[in-house]
Chains A and B, each alone.
Chain A
Amino acid sequence: MAAKKKTIRTIPQARTPVREQDPKVRARNFEEVSLGYGLDEALVEADRCLQCADEPCVRGCPVGIDIPGFIQKIVEKHHHGAYDIITDTNLLPSICGRVCPQENQCEGVCTVGDTLEPVAIGRLERFVGDMAIKEGWANIPYIESSGYKVGIVGAGPAGIACAADMAKAGCDVTVYEAFHQPGGVLKYGIPDFRLPNDVIDAEIDKLKRLGIKFECNTLVGRLFTIEQMVNEMGFHAVFIGTGAGYPSFMGIPGESLNGVLSANELLTRCNLMRARDYPNFDTPLKPGKHVAVIGAGNTAMDALRVSLRLGAESVHCIYRRSKKEAPARVEEIHHAEEEGVDFNWLSSPVEILGDENKTVRALRCVKMELGEPDESGRRRPVVVPGSEFEFETDMVVYAIGTNANPIIGQTSKLKLNKRGYIDADENFATSIAGVYAGGDIVTGAATVIEAMGAGRRAARSMKAWLGLRDTESVYLSAAPATRFGIPQDEHGFARVRLA
């Protein structure tokens, strides 16, 4: 039966809403906010894809997933097929479906989006990924060993994306991680209500099934250097994806007061170290009653919403530009607003005030207004004279970005750029032959999917360096095929029953 050709008029007009926890309830728990699509919802939404010939979404995706392809499989109710198509290019659909900024990528260029709301590609991807976890699907490609040994430094998004590709190319891959658990920013940074830890663990388990070895508690640079990996430990190629972790502060008075901390610290204590379950977990975290978070990026939104869930009475976002310029995803700001975060646009902190115990008591800010555009194209904020104001707070969280982590630079001869990031060319090659780098340690703080894209493109360069061909994955079927209860490979043999 030939399907009727879809047009913009025949598809369901409205984007299928996703069920979410009630804002008032969820602001006090760490359960996931978005409940994800069910079977029916996914089917309706998948039907909104026009299957256009142009496929702008595929080009919009940093890893180039065959988006119309997997959506068509959902329409055909062939969910495993959809999973096969996604995992050809992306082994972590449950993670990407949740944390990619789709509005700037695939959904931002969707043809349907020209007239109606774009197809909810991210939600569909998550639907497929979650179904795979629930059903225990894992696509183990047929891998023939290439005999090459590849070392990956950092088990964050860039590292694991690179590791997956190198493993599929037959390399013996070891991923080194300084923390006691793999995942990087997915684990320590992104909170459970956006990306549950068990989803990350499930996805990493799949990578282990590809034969990737994860070595935690290993601080590369200090335990052994990049040069040692190449010269002594027998790695034929190395990828560095250590991230940009080195939080910035503003340098205003009062930053060393107790109660002032980086968003990284707040999130790590809460998410990875589980301080929210204190004292069942040992890591302490003094929750604030009135929390001020400086910055309006995705990390700031996470810090704001984590603070609410830790029991804060009021949570304030301080940002020197206006809502329009805020770097966070629209959806994140919307969620934070729904949950009761108080946004102070066009305000900038000038001093943190403390009490006699050297603990934060208040934050002094000034009002800003937007002037001429600066080199980033955004309008430069200018101080409004005489606009100082103060508000009471007992916790000030900095979420204004990070600098390059210095450890690899301190311990190797790798060429760094002026800002301390690793100098890599367009093929992600560094100044040492066979050593590649990508993600935040090259570009500065960015998104999970950009880091994954960098990891994958670096893997392509590494394969070229090793002389490996880029081939399509061939999957082993999960259960050996049988006919009449006899394994396929035994067909044609006489089966003799011995007495």
Chain B
Amino acid sequence: MSNFEVVAREDFSPVTYLLEVRHPLMAKAAKPGQFVIVMATEHGERIPLTIADFDRDKGTITLVIQAVGKTTKEMQQNCKVGAMLYAMVGPMGAPSVLGHAKKALCVGGGLGVAPVFPQARAFQESGAYVIGVIGFRNKDLIFWDDKFRSVCDEVIVCTDDGSAGMKGTVADGIKRAIEQHPDIDECVAIGPPIMMKGCAEATRPFGIKTMVSLNPLMVDGTGMCGGCRVKIGDEIKFACVDGPDFDGHKVDFDDLMARLKRFTAEERVALEHWSDTCRLMKQADELASASSKTDPELY
């Protein structure tokens, strides 16, 4: 299998975008909690991305991506509708195990709002009372709140600066939800590691089972490289095949965050190298178009 076509795209903010990629077989197989590994180009790196949604009728996989590094920025620039991804493999990881919760809390922070959505939907389909807590830095970064309202019985929107919903982090949102609903029996939290850590700490005193989805660095995504190993209690697990979902109360988040910084220096170099190349290409394009304007006879 090769050449995976981007069939739809939506830009949520200057740094967040959504791609819908055609892959009917994967759309059929995907379950909430799984992820894919994407290679944008033949020379690209393999990056893991959580499956934000899948449409079995249309045969598409939805990915929500934040442009932070070279690869994701390059994809933001190049992956327009009709573009092809060089590789996309999945669905990887063990699907989320949805308990028999009667009242579930689905928490998404920033980009994590996307992958927690199919879980909220699954809880709703299983007949649970679903409370959504979604958090963003400010009002302008909010996305999918309408989708959340369609599957949740209650939605709490949190923003760091208070520009929309309640002021505070999702952990504050969780506390409020628990105050109102002391009988919540399960929580799913997805987002940056620091946010998931906050969520796990918020639910720990109440003993609410809290599942988090971990996003360590990985290469193959099939258990072969061991780059994605995480500390869960006293054990070492590979997030790609043993996860990516783990009990948030057992995860060593500090270890995860330290390991995510493994290639910080290299990532910065790659981004600079790429930005420089882009700038030069742009200049060259401008020069070319300028010369073609002044001297059309040349062609």
The residues in A between 171 and 218 inclusive whose CB is less than 8 angstroms from any CB of B are 178-180, 188, 215-218
Contact at A224–B229, with CB atoms within 8 Å?
A: no
Assess whether B273 is interfacial by the CB under 8 Å rule. yes
Give every chain A residue within 8 A of B92 (Cβ-Cβ).
219, 222
**Which stretch from A1-9, A119-127, A251-259 is at the chain B interface?**
A251-259
Instruction: Enumerate chain A residues within 8 angstroms of B231, measured Cβ to Cβ.
Output: 256
Q: With A261-B227, A265-B219, A280-B43 as given contacts, are A180 and B269 in contact (CB-CB < 8 Å)? A: no
Q: Binary interface profile of A, 325-346, with partner B (CB < 8 Å = 1, else 0)?
A: 0000000000000000000000
A127 to B85, CA, bound (A): 39
Give 23 A-B contacts (CB < 8 Å), ordered by A residue: A178-B89, A180-B89, A219-B89, A219-B92, A219-B221, A219-B222, A245-B223, A246-B226, A246-B241, A249-B229, A258-B261, A264-B225, A264-B226, A265-B219, A268-B224, A269-B219, A273-B45, A281-B43, A282-B43, A286-B265, A406-B241, A407-B223, A410-B241
A407 touches B43 (CB 8 A): no
Partner of B39, one of A180, A245, A261: A180
| Total A-B residue contacts, Cβ distance less than 8 Å | 140
Q: Decide if B22 is an interface residue (CB 8 Å cutoff).
A: no
- Residues of chain A with a CB closer than 8 A to B185's CB: none
Q: Does A358 make an interface contact (CB < 8 A)?
A: yes
* Interface hits, A99-114 → B, CB 8 Å: none
**A222 to B29, alpha carbons, bound, how many Å?**
7
- A261-B227, A286-B262, A406-B241 as given contacts; A224 in contact with B25, CB under 8 Å: yes
Tally of B interface residues using CB under 8 Å: 49
Is A261 a contact partner of B226 (Cβ separation < 8 A)?
A: yes
Q: Mark B190-215, 1 if CB is under 8 A from A, else 0.
A: 00000000000000000000000000
Inter-subunit contact A217/B227 (CB<8 Å): no
Whether A178 and B220, one on each chain, are in contact in the complex, defined by CB atoms closer than 8 angstroms, is yes
Closest to A402 in B: B224
Also in contact, A245 and B29, with CB within 8 A (given A216-B2, A217-B88, A407-B241): no
Q: Are A282 and B270 in contact (CB under 8 A)?
A: yes
A339–B38 Cα distance when bound, in Å, is 37
Complex: chain B residue closest to A185, CB-CB: B224
For the complex formed, measure the closest distance between the CB of A155 and the CB atoms of chain B, giving whole angstroms: 13
Instruction: Decide if B98 is an interface residue (CB 8 Å cutoff).
Output: no
Contact between chains at B226 and A283 (CB < 8 Å): no
Besides A247-B226, A286-B263, A406-B223, 20 new A-B residue pairs in contact (Cβ under 8 A), listed by A number: A180-B2, A180-B39, A188-B224, A216-B87, A217-B2, A223-B25, A224-B29, A243-B224, A247-B224, A256-B258, A262-B227, A265-B225, A269-B225, A278-B266, A281-B45, A282-B270, A284-B267, A358-B258, A358-B259, A405-B223
CB distance from A302 to the nearest CB of B (A): 14
* Complex alpha-carbon distance, A251 and B29, angstroms: 35
**How far is it, in angstroms, between the C-alpha of A405 and the C-alpha of B225 when the chains are bound?**
11
Bound CA–CA A280/B231 (angstroms): 33
Across-interface contacts of A283 in B (CB, < 8 A): 45-46, 219
Per-residue CB contact flags for chain B residues 223-247 toward chain A (1 = under 8 Å, else 0) read 1111101010000101001100000
B99 within 8 A of A: no
List residues of A (226-266) whose CB comes within 8 Å of B's CBs. Answer: 243, 245-247, 249, 251, 255-256, 258, 261-262, 264-265
Interface pair B266/A223, CB less than 8 Å apart: no
In the docked arrangement, what's the CA distance between A281 and B270, Å? Answer: 10
In the bound complex, residues from chain A placing their C-beta under 8 Å from that of B270 are: 278-279, 282, 284
Task: Give A258's nearest chain B residue, CB to CB.
Answer: B262
Q: Which residues of B contact A (CB under 8 A)?
A: 1-2, 25-26, 29, 34, 39, 43-46, 70-71, 86-92, 94, 219-227, 229, 231, 236, 238, 241-242, 255, 258-259, 261-263, 265-267, 269-270, 273-274
Residues from chain B with Cβ under 8 Å of A280 in the complex: 43
B222 and A178 contacting across the interface, CB-CB below 8 Å: yes
**Interface secondary structure of A, over-half rule:** loop
| Minimal beta-carbon separation of B205 from chain A (angstroms) | 27
- List, in ascending order, chain A residues with CB within 8 A of B273's CB: 279
B212 to chain A, nearest CB (A): 18
Q: When the two chains form the complex, which single residue of B46, B221, B224 contacts A273, counting CB atoms closer than 8 Å?
A: B46
Note all chain B residues with C-beta closer than 8 A to A218: 1, 89
| Nearest Cβ on chain A to B139's Cβ, whole angstroms | 34
Are A223 and B29 interface neighbours, CB within 8 A?
yes
Bound complex: CA A279 to CA B241 (Å): 29
Min CB gap A288→B, angstroms: 13
* Least CB separation from A249: chain B residue: B236
State the CA gap A416–B198 with chains docked (Å).
39
Contact partners of B25 in chain A: CB under 8 A: 223-224
A286 / chain B contacts, CB cutoff of 8 Å: 262-263, 265-266
| Contact, CB under 8 Å: B229 / A256 | yes
From residue B275, how far is it (CB to closest CB) to chain A in Å? 12
The answer to whether A217 touches B261 (Cβ under 8 A) is no
Residue of A nearest to B256 (CB): A256
Contacts of A178 in B (CB 8 A): 89, 220-222
Within 8 A of B (CB), among A264-309: 264-265, 268-269, 273-274, 278-286
Knowing A217-B89, A284-B45 are in contact, say whether A223-B222 is a contact too (CB < 8 A).
Answer: no
